[in-house]
Structure 1
Amino acid sequence: MGHVYERLDDRTRAFIEKQPVFFVATAPSDGGRVNVSPKGYGDTFTVLDDTTVAYLDLDGSGIETVAHVRENGRITLMFCGFERQALIVRLYGTGRVVTLHDPGFPELLARFGPHPGVRSIIVVDCDRVSDSCGWGVPRMDLVEERSTLDRWAARHDVQETRDYRAKHNRNSIDGLPGLSAGESDPVGQRS
């Protein structure tokens, strides 16, 4: 049977920080498409305090999470135990997008491992923390993290990154605003 918590306790925090992958779900307010994105790289997620978490938003072919969070703030993160412990943890809350132009960005960025291709940081204020059994989730072994995304981002110079983000990250698939022109610049420092 699942449980609901007011905050991240030590056991839940240890569980989510250990997971090599998590999933982010968002949706626009009025119809549109629900988006679910897998997130990897173990050093791209951090717990800021008992009710606040953050993760790096790295380059990608879409901008759904940023667009949805900016439109309505609603976001859910899900962590599944693929190893021995059969557990699922969901963090429900309100997200905000922090870009390199926002106060506090350098301090947040320093909490993550080094990655090129950082577009923003998504900070989530959790208003519900819940767990449930993961009995239907298969047990799997992590072979390795893929380095493909980091290698891809490292190959592009500043102008190529701006051009890519202008083409792929200005609007969501439903036409909601994503990254503005001023936010298309790559982060000068690595996380």
Structure 2
Amino acid sequence: MGKRFDSIDEKLRSWIEAQPMWFVATAPLSAEGHVNLSPRGHDTFSVLDEHRVAWVDYTGSGVETISHIRENGRVCLMFNSFDSRPRIVRLHGTGSVALLGDPAFDEVVALHPEHQSTRAVIIVDVTRISDSCGWGVPVMEMTGERDLLRLQAEKKGVDGMAEYRVEKNSMSIDGLPGLIT
């Protein structure tokens, strides 16, 4: 049976920040739109306070999370343990997008290693926190982070990354605005 939390206390914060991978789910308002579920990793996630979290969003092949959050704000983050103690924690809330030049962008980016692929910061005001057993999640071992995003960003350079974002991140698969260029 799952448990609800009133806030992200130090114990829960420590557990969340120890997870090497987590997931973010969003959806557009339109019933014809596509639900998006993305895995995340690297040192990108921060618990800002008891009801506020954020992450550094790297350039990817799509822009669904940003588009959906800009349209309606709805977001669910899921963290699960892959070690011997099973556990799943979900953070539901309302998200916002901060871009370069926004004080919130600078605040969150400063908490993490510099990465040339950084395109935005997502901030979530958490309204519901729950956990569940995770008994069906396999036990797996973390062997390391992939370095492909950094290598691609270095190869493309600043101008190449900007061009890539215009090409791939201007609009979601459902035609919603993505990154404003």
TM-score range, shorter chain: over 0.9
TM-score by length of 2: 0.96
Among all aligned residue pairs of Structure 1 and Structure 2, give the percentage whose two residues are the same amino acid: 50
Stretch moving more, 78-87 or 109-118: 109-118
> Aligned partner of 2:65: which letter?
T
What are the equivalent positions in structure 2 for 1:54-73 lying under 5 Å apart?
54-73=54-73
- TM-superposition CA deviations, 1:42-99 (whole Å, max 9, x none): x110100001111111010000000000000000000010002100000000000000
Structure 2 counterpart of 1:10 = 10
Q: Given that residues 83 and 140 in structure 2 are in contact (C-alpha distance below 8 angstroms), is that contact kept between their aligned partners in structure 1? A: yes
CA displacement at 1:158 relative to structure 2: 2.4
2:103 partner SS: coil
RMSD, matched Cα: 0.9
1:104 match = 104
Q: Aligned runs of 1:114-125 on 2, under 5 Å? A: 114-125=114-125
The CA distance in 2 between the partners of 1:125 and 1:54, in whole Å, is: 9
Aligned residue for 1:158, secondary structure, equals helix
- Which residue pairs with 2:41 in the alignment? 40
Deviations 1:95-143 (A, max 9, x none): 0000003233222210112211100000011000000001000000001
Tell me how many residue pairs correspond in the alignment: 180
Q: Give the alignment of 1:118-137 within 5 angstroms.
A: 118-137=118-137
Distance 2:51 2:159 in 1: 38
Specify every segment of 5 or more residues in structure 2 that has no aligned partner in the other structure, as ranges: none
> Match for residue 52 of structure 1?
52
Q: For 2:180 and 2:28, locate their aligned partners in 1 and report how far apart those are by CA, in whole Å.
A: 18
Residues in 2 aligned to 1:73 and 1:122: alpha-carbon distance in whole angstroms: 10
Range that drifts further, 111-120 or 73-82: 111-120
Query: Which residue of structure 1 aligns with residue 155 of structure 2?
Result: 155
Q: Equivalent residue for 1:84?
A: 84
Q: In structure 2, what is the Cα distance between the partners aligned to 1:124 and 1:118?
A: 18
SS of residue paired to 1:14: helix
In the alignment, residue 38 of structure 2 is paired with which amino acid?
A: S
Distance 2:141 2:78 in 1: 18
Shift of residue 149, structure 1, vs aligned partner: 1.0
In structure 1, the partner of 2:145 is 145
Q: Which amino acid aligns with 1:49?
A: D
Task: Compute the TM-score of the two structures, normalised by the length of structure 1.
Answer: 0.91
Instruction: Give deviations 1:149-178, integer Å, cap 9, x for gaps.
Output: 111112112221121111100000000000
SS in 2 for 1:100: coil
SS of aligned partner of 1:93: strand
Give how far 1:9 is off. Answer: 1.8
Is contact 2:56-2:108 (8 Å) kept?
Answer: no
> Partners of 2:135 and 2:24 in 1: how far apart?
21
Aligned counterparts of 2:11 and 2:94: Cα–Cα separation in 1 = 23
